[in-house]
Amino acid sequence: MRLDVPGRALLRVEGSNGSGKSTLLRLFAGIDSPTTGRITGRPRTAYVPERFPAALPFTALGYLTHLGRVHGLCGPEAARRATEWLARFGAAGHAGTPLAKLSKGTSQKVAVAQALLAEPRLLVLDEAWTGLDPAAREVLDRAVAERIADGGTVVFVDHDPRRLAGLADAHYRIADGRLLTTAGGTAADATAAAGPRVVIEAVGPPGSAPWSGPAAEPPVRTAAREPATRPTGPVPGAAELPGHPEVTVGVDGTARLTVPAVHSDALLRALLTARPPWHIRSVIHPGTDPDPDEAPLP
């Protein structure tokens, strides 16, 4: 099995107690190494473990500043960000408190802050919301959105199905030692769905469509006052094309086929080798924003 982690994405990992979620996240975070298989191309990563080692001999601010330095920040910048994150989480008053004396929730705020102050490309959150008060949970929700808007990837586990509900680009479930998508597909399918998408604009001979054979309906004609292009929803049979493209057909008959980028070559081949072949007008790779700091985790 191969699992790619795309940039600018939110990935959710689910599973029952003891199924192996934390184990998978520890592999993502580089805390553990796989006994078989391999992980390559690790981006700058920060991790909030399920259990925070609260007995370390630091104050909250001292610990965060230390971790900032470990993440490569200079001392003053590490201290600045540490102070800022304590304030964002409403814990500025505990800056000088030893870790061992913090309440469970404040200790969790420190655990989350140490990961966020590094502004990682890959943020791994293992039940990071647990123990936080509602205001701090909202701060963490916003921080997750900021990481993704900045081009990063966030992988998280949480037993509350309402956590970031509807926002994940891909859902994985671990069951019986296997990693599945919650929709029942493979991890590779979900990876493709979460990654960048390509739009292919193509025109076929009148009355033909490669996904439904030569007897296909001609494109729908619309009145002049209607929009130039209107979505038709999935075209019957289009799901049989490589990458299961979403299809819209314009009034001029141009089809716009949107697929995960990993399937675009196969889809182009299918269009070009259809009988008769389709004319490709354009291939659009929207929003590709390569980051030299970032690489996929196969």
Ligand X SMILES: Nc1ncnc2c1ncn2[C@@H]1O[C@H](COP(=O)(O)OP(=O)(O)OP(=O)(O)O)[C@@H](O)[C@H]1O
Distance of closest approach, residue 182 Cβ to ligand X, in angstroms: 15
Among 15, 68, 152, 195, binds ligand X (CB under 6 A): 15
Letters for 158-177 (x = contact with ligand X by CB under 6 A, - = none) are: -------------------x
Is residue 21 at the binding interface for ligand X, with CB under 6 A as the rule?
yes
Distance of closest approach, residue 238 Cβ to ligand X, in angstroms: 37
Is residue 204 at the binding interface for ligand X, with CB under 6 A as the rule?
no
Is residue 131 at the binding interface for ligand X, with CB under 6 A as the rule?
no
Is residue 23 at the binding interface for ligand X, with CB under 6 A as the rule?
yes
Our CB check for ligand X shows the closer of 51 and 221 to be 51
Q: Listing from the earlier edge strand, what are the strands of the sheet with 9-14? A: 45-48, 122-126, 153-157, 9-14, 170-175, 178-181
Distance of closest approach, residue 161 Cβ to ligand X, in angstroms: 14
Among 7, 10, 11, 20, binds ligand X (CB under 6 A): 20
Our CB check for ligand X shows the closer of 34 and 207 to be 34
